[in-house]
Amino acid sequence: MLARYRKAPVSTIIAAEDMHASFLDLFMLRDSITMHDVLLRQAVADDLKGLVELENRCFTEDRISRRSFRRFLEVPRDRLIVAVRGEELVGYCLVLMSAATRLARIYSIAVSPTVRGKGVGEKLVKEAEKEAADADRIIMRLEVREDNSGAINLYRRLGYRQFGTYRDYYEDQGTALRFERRILYYEPSREFLPVPYYPQTTEFTCGPSALIMALSALDERQPLTTLEELKIWREATTIFMLAGHGGCGPHGLALSAWNRGFEASAWISQEGALFKDTVRNDDKKRVLELVHEGFLHDIGQTGIQIHHDPLTLEAMETALHNGQIPVILISTWQLNRSRVPHWVTVCAIDDDFVYLHDPEIDAEEGETVADKQYLPIDKRVFSKMSSYGRNQPLQAAVIVGPRRP
**pLDDT tens across 354-369, in order?**
999 999 998 776 677 8
Bigger pLDDT: 62 or 133?
133
Residue 280 — very low, low, confident or very high, per pLDDT cuts 50/70/90?
Answer: confident
* pLDDT for 28 beyond 70: no
Residues in the chain: 405
* pLDDT for 295 beyond 50: yes
Strand (E) positions, 29-138?
39-42, 79-85, 88-97, 103-111
As a whole number of angstroms, the distance between CA 215 and CA 402 comes to 8
Asked if residue 264 and residue 229 are part of one domain, the reply reads yes
pLDDT digits (tens, 9 = 90+) for 142-181: 888 898 887 788 888 899 988 888 888 776 788 888 899 9
Give the range of the structural domain holding residue 96, as residue numbers without chain letter: 4-182
Residue 29 — very low, low, confident or very high, per pLDDT cuts 50/70/90?
Answer: very low
Asked if residue 373 and residue 232 are part of one domain, the reply reads yes
Nearest to residue 320, comparing CAs of 330, 311, 307?
311
* CA trace torsion 135, 136, 139, 141 (10° rounding): -20
- Structural domain contains residue 199: no
Asked if residue 211 and residue 167 are part of one domain, the reply reads no
- Structural domain contains residue 195: no
Q: Which letter, b or e, does each residue of 132-167 get, where b requires 16 or more Cβ atoms within 10 Å of its Cβ?
A: bbeeebbbbbbbbbbebebbbebbeeeebbbeeebe
As a whole number of angstroms, the distance between CA 374 and CA 144 comes to 28
Asked if residue 116 and residue 22 are part of one domain, the reply reads yes
As a whole number of angstroms, the distance between CA 153 and CA 392 comes to 47
Asked if residue 136 and residue 49 are part of one domain, the reply reads yes
Bigger pLDDT: 262 or 279?
262
* pLDDT for 335 beyond 90: no
Asked if residue 347 and residue 220 are part of one domain, the reply reads yes
**pLDDT value at position 166?**
84
Q: What is the mean pLDDT of residues 28-40?
A: 60
**pLDDT value at position 233?**
97
- Structural domain contains residue 197: no
As a whole number of angstroms, the distance between CA 305 and CA 311 comes to 13
Q: State percent of the chain over pLDDT 70.
A: 88
Which amino acid does the sequence have at 115? V
- Structural domain contains residue 316: yes
